[in-house]
Amino acid sequence: MSVIKIRGGRHLDGTVDVHGSKNAVLPILAASFINGGISIIHNCPDITDVRTSIAILEHLGCEVTFKDNTVTVNSHNVTGTSIPDELMREMRSSVIFAGALVSKMGRAELSYPGGCKLGHRPIDLHLNTFRKLGIIINEEHGRIQCDATQVTPARIFLDFPSVGATENIILAAIGGEGVTTIINAAKEPEIVDLQNFLNSMGACVRGGGTDVVEITGGRPLGDCEYTVIPDRISASTYMAAVVAAGGTGEIRNVVPNHVSAFIAVMRECGASVSVRDRTIRITSSGKIRPVKLINTMPYPGFPTDAQSLVMSIMSVARGTGIIKENIFQGRYAHANELARMGADISIADKIAVVRGVRRLSGCDVYAADLRSGAALAVAALAAEGETTVHNVHYIDRGYECFDRALASLGADIERIDDIE
């Protein structure tokens, strides 16, 4: 068991480099199973979700090495089609292996995925779209079996632009002959990154970043080398830390367009933000203006993964702001922990009303999921006294060396491992 101790109340001044994208690298690792060759993947963050993905690949017969943020996958001799329950339970994104397995092996067997508890997150959308590709689905005793003698191309309309469903369709369709079209596809940068990785191994995927994606399946695939995009939520987290605590921070290795919605909100909070190439410089006096209304939306709207960060900032704003969470149920778990620190937050269904207080007070708080853990750390930087963040294993799922990154920005932070 590990905790992070943060002594707040001091302005930040420093520089941090953003690691590779968690949400991009996980489907890319799943895709490396398909090509039957060598995939060299650079800029992979050393986080527990990546380690879990590697364990799944190894279980399926891949040879994998991970050194200096580069993962090398050899999928020459894969034989597996089934993922054990204990690995599926480790993370939500494990469901993405279903598309890769069907594409390569014509069969997949897995259980329902685990990960952060964010309310009702059904995978029915994934399974229904699989059926449209001619895949036979059998659900029994908590296991899901997907069988496809041949993936059939189709035109698939998504009722909601789900990132995971879009990725799973792309991966499954790679293994079929003909053209599959996804209408109302997710437009997130991570979809573009998956498309570019697949094309680097010889696939033909077009339209990533738009609402219509076209996959031409059945092309010969081979060895590839690729570099993962930077993590836009990590970049947002470090910006939020500077705004909450006050001071100046330089966030390097960022694709600014990927965080444009977050930058707009930081400016509305009163921060000064300048962008040059792949570097963002942000300055805050610590006197935060409230944001009148934030709606979480699919990209390019404001990301649900950054909602908790803004709630922490607004907790010490000079006025009242409103957040509406439109993507996931159960994503306000951090509100109760912020209240323990003195925040004034009212929750009604999808709406959170945040009334800024003069100051927060450090105390023991408990992360309920990955993003709430990061948000509590951001709040701790603005609080008086010492805050201890528990359940750090959630933070480890998506942030590489989180304590060191905040320390490089000037935070007074310490990680303590092996606490009983």
DSSP letters, 40-56, are EEES----HHHHHHHHH
List 62, 116, 146, 269, catalytic entry: 116
Residues 6 or more apart in contact with residue 420 via CB below 8 angstroms: 1
Structure tokens at 113: 């995925």
Tell me the DSSP string of 67-95: ETTEEEEE-TT----B--HHHHTT-GGGG
**Would you list the DSSP string of 354-370?**
EE--S--B--EEE-SSH
- Per the annotation, the verdict on 204 as an active-site residue is no
β-bridge mates for residue 15, sequence order = 250
Q: Which residues of 22-45 are buried (b: 16+ CB within 10 A; e: fewer)?
A: bbbbbbbbbbbbbbbbbbebebbb
Cβ neighbours for 395, distance < 8 A, ≥ 6 positions apart: 4, 367, 370, 373, 374, 377, 389, 402
Q: Residue 251 and residue 364: Cα distance in Å, rounded?
A: 28
Distances, alpha carbon 147 to alpha carbons 95, 101, 289, in Å: 15, 10, 54
Phi, psi (deg, nearest 5) at residue 351: -100, 135
Tokens of 221: 């695939």
d(CA 196, CA 24): 11
DSSP 89-147: TT-GGGGGHHHHHHHHHSEEEEE---SS--S----HHHHHHHHHTT-EEEEETTEEEEE
Task: With beta carbons less than 8 A apart as the criterion, state whether 333 and 345 touch.
Answer: no
DSSP 206-264: E-TTSSEEEEEE------EEEEPPB-HHHHHHHHHHHHHH-EEEEEES--GGGGHHHHH
| CA-derived radius of gyration, the chain | 21
Q: State the catalytic residues.
A: 116
